[in-house]
């Protein structure tokens, strides 16, 4: 069986999202197929910094460390995901003393201490960070359902960047000047949300605070097509930034399909293979042009995918290049033969 990592070595690292369990259950596949890892959940605030405070007892680095060590042993890169997000952040982060919400100033302090702790611990081991994840709403405005935005989303200095986002990038830049700093989001390959992401990336890049944009890539057999993704890559790259596809999977269910078949829909695997073929051709071409610098799958094989619980809880999906028994699918062949 060919190796994705080898086939794509001239273009970009191939990554996969993992956790402490899948680096064991999927070890063989990971070792042969990828040369970059990202923690699917284990570097998120609720896992790595579950308890209030900043002492050693507030953090739980065990699972993240295990992934970083696995990567080191096998010569793989590590992407850091994610420092600031409105989800998977424990309630204490937004609580002040008593029943009141934390103040803006204290929240920014907590953000600063959290980012410094992570970047220093993983300096030289994690080469890039999703500093802020999913700060935008579908219409390109700032997400109203984010406590970060509500408490510290003002723009005190009028630079067009919500304070918590600017503080996060500034802190990360100072804590590890060598780390590549990314803004990461979904549905930014087109539409109003792309406008928002572009404006944010532009404002951050004016201050030299950002290196790249992560297009998540939770896509489906229905799209988007490669040309749409190419236009997005080129637009962000026009700011002098690099682009990565950070969470790639291609659901066999078009958006809106809520059926729950026991087997993939007829023709679904062929459509999926064509979608992947189209995307990877564009990825290679954009890498050749110096605009795309990484592609990370959100998992590696169909036995472990978040899509089994989204958008329909408990519905099996088959979005990756390897089946549940870790055998290569048509989509794998489509991606390694060109
Ligand atoms: O750890 C608990 C476990 O103790 C508990 O028994 C179990 C009961 O449901 O839940 C476990 O936590 C789950 C966690 O994944 C670990 O599997 C959460 O419920 C579940 O919500 C969580 O889902 C993760 C999701 O982010 C949450 O926001 C997915 O695994 C993860 O793939 C997904 O990743 C996100 C990216 O970070 C950002 N972009 C979108 C992407 C997909 O949603």
Instruction: Provide the annotated active-site residues.
Output: 134, 247
Q: How far is the CA of 287 from the centre of ligand 1 (A)?
A: 31
Q: What is the pLDDT of residue 98?
A: 83
Average pLDDT over residues 238-249: 98
Dihedral angle over CA of 42, 46, 48, 53, nearest 10? 180
Q: pTM of whole model > 0.95?
A: yes
Summarised one tens digit per residue, pLDDT across range 23-50 is 999 999 999 999 999 999 999 999 999 9
Give residues with Cβ within 8 angstroms of 48, minimum separation 6: 42, 59, 60, 61, 64, 118
**308 CB near ligand 1 (under 6 Å):** no
Q: For ligand 1, atom 11, name the residue with the nearest CA.
A: 41
CA angle 239, 173, 101 (to 5 degrees): 105
Q: How far is the CA of 40 from the centre of ligand 1 (A)?
A: 8
Summarised one tens digit per residue, pLDDT across range 88-117 is 999 999 999 888 999 999 999 999 999 999
Residue from 88, 306, 314, 317 whose mutation best tests the ligand 1 pocket (most atoms within 8 A of CB): 306
Give residues with Cβ within 8 angstroms of 273, minimum separation 6: 329, 330, 331, 333, 334
Summarised one tens digit per residue, pLDDT across range 137-172 is 999 999 999 999 999 999 999 999 999 999 999 999
Summarised one tens digit per residue, pLDDT across range 182-210 is 999 999 999 999 999 999 999 999 999 99
Whether 314 has a pLDDT exceeding 90, the answer reads yes
Mean pLDDT across the chain: 97
**123 CB near ligand 1 (under 6 Å):** no
């Amino acid at each position: 069986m060919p190796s994705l990592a080898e086939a794509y070595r001239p273009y970009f690292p191939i990554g996969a999202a993992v956790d402490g369990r899948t680096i064991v259950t999927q070890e063989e596949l990971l070792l042969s197929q990828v040369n970059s890892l990202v923690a699917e959940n284990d570097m998120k605030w609720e896992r790595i910094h579950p308890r209030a405070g900043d002492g050693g007892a507030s953090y739980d680095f065990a699972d993240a460390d295990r992934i970083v060590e696995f990567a080191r042993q096998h010569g793989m890169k590590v992407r850091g995901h994610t420092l600031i997000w409105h989800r998977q952040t424990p309630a204490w982060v937004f609580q002040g003393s008593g029943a009141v919400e934390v103040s803006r100033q204290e929240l920014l302090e907590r953000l600063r201490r959290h980012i410094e702790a992570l970047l220093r611990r993983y300096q030289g081991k994690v080469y890039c960070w999703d500093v802020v994840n999913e700060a935008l709403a579908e219409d390109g405005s700032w997400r109203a359902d984010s406590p970060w935005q509500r408490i510290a989303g003002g723009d005190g200095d009028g630079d067009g960047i919500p304070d918590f986002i600017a503080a996060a990038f500034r802190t990360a830049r100072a804590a590890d000047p060598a780390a590549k700093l990314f803004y990461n989001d979904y549905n930014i390959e087109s539409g109003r949300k792309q406008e928002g992401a572009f404006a944010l990336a532009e404002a951050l890049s004016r201050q030299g605070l950002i290196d790249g944009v992560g297009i998540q890539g939770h896509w489906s057999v229905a799209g988007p097509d490669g040309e749409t993704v190419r236009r997005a890559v080129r637009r962000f790259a026009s700011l002098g930034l690099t682009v990565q596809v950070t969470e790639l999977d291609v659901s066999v269910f078009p958006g809106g399909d809520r059926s729950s078949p026991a087997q993939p829909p007829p023709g679904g695997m062929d459509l999926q293979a064509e979608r992947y073929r189209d995307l990877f051709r564009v990825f290679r071409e954009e890498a050749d042009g110096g605009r795309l610098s990484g592609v990370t799958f959100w998992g590696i094989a169909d036995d472990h995918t978040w899509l089994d619980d989204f958008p329909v809880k408990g519905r099996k999906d088959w979005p990756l290049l390897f089946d549940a028994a870790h055998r290569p699918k048509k989509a794998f062949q489509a991606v390694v033969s060109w």
